Amino acid sequence: MNVTETISFLPETPETVLKIIGAILVLIIAIGMGKALTIYLQRSLKDKVDKGHLDIILKVGYYGLITLVIVVFILPLTGIESSGLLVTGGVFGIVIGFASQSIVGNLISGFFIIVERPIKIGDQINIANNIGFVEDINIFSTIIRTYDGLYMRIPNQTVFTANITNYVANVTRRFEYVVGIRYSDDAEEAIRIIREIIDNEPFALKDPSPGLFVDTLGDNAVNIIVRIWAPITEWFEMKTRLLWVIKKTLEENGIEIAFPQRTVWFAGELQTRKVTDTQTELLPEAPSRYPPAERTDLTEEIHGLPEMQEGTKEG
Amino acid sequence: MYDKYTPPFTLNFEGHEISVEKDRENLIYRRTCNYQTVEKTLLNTHGEFLINPIEPVNLPKPITSSLLIDFEHPVVIGPGTKQKIYLTFPVETGIFIVGRNGDHELVDMLTLSNIKYTLYGTPNNGVVCRYWKSKAFTSYPHPDTRYEGDIELDIINDTTHWMEVTKAVFNAYGMKIYYGKEQLSMRAFMRIINRNLAETGFMTYTTTAEFKRSIELYTSRKVILSGNRGIMEHGL
């Protein structure tokens, strides 16, 4: 048997072998790229994402890349018709897509929440008027413990699309009181007293400095605005305690908190209505602790009520 | 006042009364000030009590490890120079129980100084610090050690410009407080890197029988590079 005959026995073998070797090589390269992508993601997301979520992201990246390489490069290389698979997969994908729209939406939202990190476990947050502590951030949902101690699961799609208020994202925050004092009191003295209270309060921050000023001359009171900055961990305790301290201290210094009052002014002199004998007899007997009703002379006329005017007066 | 005490004992100073009584195998620690009493029972305890200054960032409760000293008047330092100034700092006192093996545990803390906190930097990116206002002295200020200690601060201007310094921020991790009969001191440095950035840190003194180093509550985390340094990145 000569060489030509020998080669004729293997007419297609080298091509098939080459295809298989090529496919294996591409797969090895894809695995290597997947590993490199994993290392890159691990390094870049290590400080941003917690370990549990990072593992999932790494797996999705790694297997996603390999699947992509198989579909795009290896299947055409080995001669497997991928168009049929794609058509079947496409139809199947549409069905699955419709069925799992919200699940995928939550998954993708969860991924972005993990990367963007608008909230962290332990934060106090308000998501679409759901207020509480973040207990856990999963791939599909975020778990909240409300201030009432209730367990609340919010889908990540809602978390991602809703307005999020994170009450503890910054190191400090400001709170405000409106202290209304009487018009007869000295507002400057009231401000001095309140400033002294704030100065003696350790966690009322020196800088940013507190704001104290007369804001409005209201219907019933001179309104003083008190704005205080506090560490984020201390503001609530201080807010709930300090207002009563301010109220008591002001009163100890003769400055009173005003309350709404209405004074009725009469255009003419106020006159007592005279009661006739007849009307008096119709009245029931007065209780013993009151003196007997005084009878008036019939000749006296009954004066009608004068015209009234309403007016307001400061507290 | 800063010394070791063997129970039972009673100590009075500036309106505070500290007493430790023996109750069979136990010790009862009591501190009274302004009609408020702190009382603790130390079970089956033997040992001495050590009263010494601690890092001034713990009261009324520890929320930060940073101390900001605001200069009454700014100091200006020339380019490439090193100058020494003295500042004061608030004193906080720790009461420790010291076991037979030398192990110690904090029992109580108190201060006679005014307590105030402030923000260094911005609300979203700053640091809450214990606040203290001090004059920048050019010589040892002889403070009343019941209320204030002194910081011997070396300011090093590494820039090529004149620099105005209005405050110093220190990290409690790394503070080394020394105390004697009439002195309560720290030794620190501030290295100015640019107009908005400086580094602060602490140095040691040579201890003697009369000038001891206090027990530290904030021990430095050695795994973190510059973990015990203060970084002033929001201005000088």
Q: How much is the CA Rg of chain A, to the nearest whole Å?
A: 41
Indicate yes or no: pTM above 0.80.
Answer: no
Distance from CA of B221 to the nearest CA of A (A): 19
Among B115, B119, B125, whose Cβ lies nearest the Cβ of A202? Answer: B115
Report which of A239, A172, A198 is spatially closest to residue B128, judged by C-alpha positions.
Answer: A172
| Omega cis (within 30) before A208 | yes
Which chain B residue has its CA at the smallest distance from A206's CA? Answer: B118
Are the Cβ atoms of B123 and A229 closer than 8 angstroms?
yes
Show the tokens assigned to A191: 């401000």
Among A169, A171, A234, whose Cβ lies nearest the Cβ of B127? Answer: A171
Are the Cβ atoms of B115 and A206 closer than 8 angstroms?
no
Show the tokens assigned to A29: 């390269």
Are the Cβ atoms of A171 and B118 closer than 8 angstroms?
no
Q: For testing the chain A interface, which of B59, B71, B109, B119 should be mutated: the one with the most A CBs within 10 Å?
A: B119
Q: What is the pLDDT of residues A55-113, one digit of tens each?
A: 778 888 888 888 888 888 888 777 777 667 667 777 777 777 777 777 777 778 887 88
Q: Which residues of B touch A196 (CB under 8 A)?
A: none
Among A199, A202, A205, whose Cβ lies nearest the Cβ of B119? Answer: A205
Question: Tell me, what's the pLDDT at A308?
Answer: 43
Instruction: Give me the residues of chain B with pLDDT under 70, please.
Output: 220-228
Total CB pairs under 8 A between chain A and B:
46
Backbone angles phi, psi at A67, to 5 degrees: -60, -40
Question: Tell me, what's the pLDDT at A204?
Answer: 97
Q: For testing the chain A interface, which of B61, B109, B116 should be mutated: the one with the most A CBs within 10 Å?
A: B116
Report which of A64, A180, A14, A45 is spatially closest to residue A116, judged by C-alpha positions.
Answer: A45
Question: Tell me, what's the pLDDT at A303?
Answer: 44
Predicted ipTM beyond 0.90: no
